[in-house]
Amino acid sequence: MLVGFTSKGVCALAIFIGFSLWINFEAKRLEGGLPSESGTALIGKEPPIFTLTTTDGHRVSLTDYLHRKNVALVFWASWCGPCRMEMPLLKSFYQKARPMRDDFEILAVSTDEFADAATGAANGMHLPFPVLVGGEKVAEAYGVAAIPQMLIIDKSGKVTFGQRGVNIGLKVFLAQSFGLDTKPFLDGPNGAASR
């Protein structure tokens, strides 16, 4: 027995440690920090259709893009640390890729309870792509269990990819998914991979 601890104290400490481990595991799972397979059961299927409002008040429907553009659908929230890490990667990709081609779109669907939180975060990060608010029900329809979560919908209107968590190679992956040359998206001078 530990010196100076009663059996009740040792029991309380064990419960505290167990609870701490469990809460950390749950937080990682909810934020998408634990590895997963595809992150969606929708691979090869048509995605659920939705219409939401952007942070600047415009109505956007997935049908505006289906069969016309490749779409990266990103579920996120302002309070999610990994989401806040991923958004600058998406912004950087978008700003570099958009002048090359315009046959793709990134739609960031906020699962924030309050639209103001998503709007404030999106405006603070100066996100150049549509940020949609009120996406809790859309996330349910897509089976989103953890964020960030990304799905790729190709021009045929089918989900071709799904992933939970932050992908550090996101810019190169999106370039490949959208048929762009990957060299400009490699980190380092002149597009060369840094060592």
**pTM of the complete model:** 0.76
- Does one domain contain both 164 and 79? yes
Question: Which helix H or strand E contains 149, and what residues bound it?
Answer: strand 149-153
Reported as a single tens digit per residue, the pLDDT across 73-132 is 999 999 999 999 999 999 999 999 999 999 999 999 999 999 999 999 999 999 999 999
Q: Give dist(CA 178, CA 155) in Å, integer.
A: 10
The identity of residue 86, as a single letter, is E
- Does one domain contain both 59 and 25? no
Domain, as residue range, for 105: 51-189
Q: Distance between alpha carbon 164 and the CA centroid of its chain, in Å? A: 7
Q: With contact defined as beta carbons under 8 Å apart, do 138 and 52 qualify?
A: yes
Token pair of 43, please? 């691979």
Q: Give dist(CA 145, CA 139) in Å, integer.
A: 8
User: In CATH, what number is assigned to the domain containing residue 162?
Assistant: 3.40.30.10
Residue predicted with more confidence, 25 or 105:
105
Tell whether 156 is covered by a domain: yes
Tell whether 180 is covered by a domain: yes
Q: What are the start-end ranges of the E strands in 6-148?
A: 51-54, 59-61, 70-76, 104-110, 131-133
Closest CA to 110 of 131, 89, 137: 131
- Does one domain contain both 158 and 85? yes
Whether the upstream peptide bond of residue 148 has omega within 30° of 0, thus cis, is yes
Average the pLDDT over 129-156 and give the result. Answer: 95
Q: Which residue has the tokens 């309050």?
A: 114
Reported as a single tens digit per residue, the pLDDT across 149-191 is 999 999 999 999 999 988 888 999 999 999 999 999 886 544 4
Tell whether 42 is covered by a domain: no
Q: How many domains are contained in the chain?
A: 2
Inter-helix orientation angle 170-177/81-97, to 10°:
50
